[in-house]
Amino acid sequence: MWARLATTMNGNTLALNTDIRDRPHQRPKPRIWPAVATLSMLTLSMLLGGCTVGPDFAKPASPPVDRVTAGPTPAVTVASETTGGTAQHLGVGRDIPGDWWTLFRSPRIEALVTQALKANPDLAAAQATLLEAKETMRAEEGAFFPSISASASRTRQKASLAGTKYLSSSYDASASLSYTFDVFGGISRQVEELGAQADYQQYELEAAYLSLTANVVTAALTEASIQAQIDATQEIIRLYREELDVTQRRFALGGVSRADVLSQQANLASAVATLPPLQKQLEQERNQLAVYLGVTPSQFAGPTLDLAALQLPDDLPVSIPSQLVEQRPDIKAYEALLHSATAAVGVAISNMLPQVTLTASYGRDAANLGNLFSPGGVVWSLANTLTQPIFEGGTLLHKRRSAVAALQVAAAQYSSTVNSAFQNVANAIVALQRDAETLRADLDYEQTALASLQVSRAQYQAGSVTYVSVLQAEQTYQNARLSLVSAQAARFTDTVALYQALGGGWWNRTDVDQTVATCCGILK
């Protein structure tokens, strides 16, 4: 049996070999200097252990602005005496509830959001992706600890010597240890990189949550808007049919011409032709809503929202710029990517520097199982290795340059995301203000068009105007009525867009990791 003691350092190997069969009462005695060399390597590793190469991540500063919009934020929108006409007050610094959709006071909306959060597969995928990223990071953290393994074997062999056949057996049992010292912080940077990627997936989950809730509410409101347009169109069609009946009776009595009857029929047919496209939009919107809820279109059933039954929130939040960059999950996600790219530079640099690895093993070797634990069966080894890349065809150099370029990309993407976020909020605030004004104008338009239609009909019956005036008044009223319905719906969808643009209040939800919210500076 052979026992070997090998110490490898800087490419030099020293070996001590002893034939135990020739000297059964003597055991190999290790020389003192390999242990000294090992201790020297450990000391050097510990001295360099505090060195972590690469740039340290620095949180980007908030944009140097004191407001989101180009001009001052309006304090209140105009009001109108109609559905969705509530005046909305915008308060700078006001917080957002985590369940902001409940502010519409609609049990139907709350039920839809609840079902979507339970069954939407995209949200489930985002949750699983986050778990995957966290476990990947934890797996890498294992590199901070030694790797220890154990093995045992039994060998049976047959040999022939001088015509004589021999059968022999051997038994081995050993444990080995391997540990790579994080001399230049390469392992730390790798864990940091994976941790930042896990943070990215955390905020991607929050973004998916926010996008899903906003899409569900918007789809429900859009469905209600289309249904309201269908109802308005059907009411217009009813009025047109009544007018056609009157015209046909007058034609039978000789009071009007055949051309008047045909004109009214054409007006009615034109109104009827607008119904199928609206019904198509309604069915497709319901199909989309079913997907958000995690079911197929055939499995989705339920009443359509009534816009008139909804309550428009009258107190809306407007975040200051420094709050906005902390609240938006997409900004936080790209900040995490920037952090990950920063750590990746350190990983690339550390791969160009020396690596120090300690390996050791201890075991027993015997010809039979009974002697496996005898003093003479001990075998062990201890080695430390210093590895320095010298020439790899420029691979490591270009990987470092690639990591630096990726860091520059991440910084540019973060900046672009911040600018887009501010644009989203500014657009939402402008929409709230201008769509409120549009609603007031459309209400005046609809009321005026209705009055004009009534006057035109009275004048026509009195014989003071031609039937062309009645037709024009009917078409004007039809357009005004549909514009009013669209303007009413816009007030609700604008409110959803503002809540989404401001981050949706995810930090106020009870199912969010409070550590994540606290580290973002949102919760104090």
First to last CA, the chain: 68
Q: Which two tokens stand for residue 35?
A: 């242990």
**Which parts of the chain sit beneath pLDDT 70?**
1-50, 163, 367, 369-372, 376, 512-524
Three-class DSSP category at 76: strand
Angle between helix 467-501 and helix 186-252 axes, rounded to 10 deg? 160
Asked whether residue 153 is assigned to any structural domain, the reply reads: no
Whole-number Å distance between alpha carbons of 186 and 460? 89
Domain limits for position 478: 55-145+183-356+401-519
- Smallest Cα–Cα separation from 519: which of 223, 202, 124? 202
Query: What is the full DSSP assignment across 113-142?
Result: HHHHHHH-HHHHHHHHHHHHHHHHHHHHHG
Q: Which two tokens stand for residue 337?
A: 């990517």
What is the largest distance, in Å, between two alpha-carbon atoms of the chain? 137
Radius of gyration of the chain (CA): 39
- How many residues does this entry show for the chain? 524
Query: What is the full DSSP assignment across 340-403?
Result: HHHHHHHHHHHTTS-EEEEEEEEEEEESSGGGTTSGGGEEEEEEEEEE----STTHHHHHHHHH
Asked whether residue 43 is assigned to any structural domain, the reply reads: no
**C-alpha to C-alpha distances, 3 to 29, 156, 362, nearest whole angstrom:** 11, 20, 11
Whole-number Å distance between alpha carbons of 332 and 363? 52
Residues 6+ apart with CB under 8 A from 4: 15, 16, 17, 379, 381
Three-class DSSP category at 4: strand
CATH code, domain carrying 326: 1.20.1600.10
Asked whether residue 41 is assigned to any structural domain, the reply reads: no
Confidence (pLDDT) at 327? 93
Confidence (pLDDT) at 518? 52
Confidence (pLDDT) at 516? 52
Asked whether residue 275 is assigned to any structural domain, the reply reads: yes
Asked whether residue 450 is assigned to any structural domain, the reply reads: yes
Asked whether residue 338 is assigned to any structural domain, the reply reads: yes
Whole-number Å distance between alpha carbons of 469 and 383? 102
Asked whether residue 375 is assigned to any structural domain, the reply reads: no
Asked whether residue 202 is assigned to any structural domain, the reply reads: yes
Kind of pairing between the strands at 12-19 and 2-9: antiparallel
Confidence (pLDDT) at 205? 96
Give the single-character DSSP code of 212.
Answer: H
Confidence (pLDDT) at 20? 31
Q: 359, 384 in Cβ contact below 8 A?
A: yes
Distance of CA 341 to the CA centre of its chain: 18
Q: Which strands make up the sheet holding 147-161, listed edge to edge?
A: 147-161, 164-181, 355-366, 378-387
Confidence (pLDDT) at 514? 52
Query: What is the full DSSP assignment across 278-330?
Result: HHHHHHHHHHHHHHHTTS-GGG---PPP-GGG----SEEEE--HHHHHHH-HH
In total, how many domains does the chain have? 1
Query: What is the full DSSP assignment across 140-199?
Result: HHGGGS-EEEEEEEEEEEEEEETTEEEEEEEEEEEEEEEEEE-TTSHHHHHHHHHHHHHH
Confidence (pLDDT) at 72? 83
**C-alpha to C-alpha distances, 54 to 180, 344, 345, 347, 403, nearest whole angstrom:** 19, 8, 6, 7, 11
Confidence (pLDDT) at 170? 79
Which residues make beta-bridge pairs with 380?
362
Confidence (pLDDT) at 1? 30
Residue located via tokens 């009813």: 238
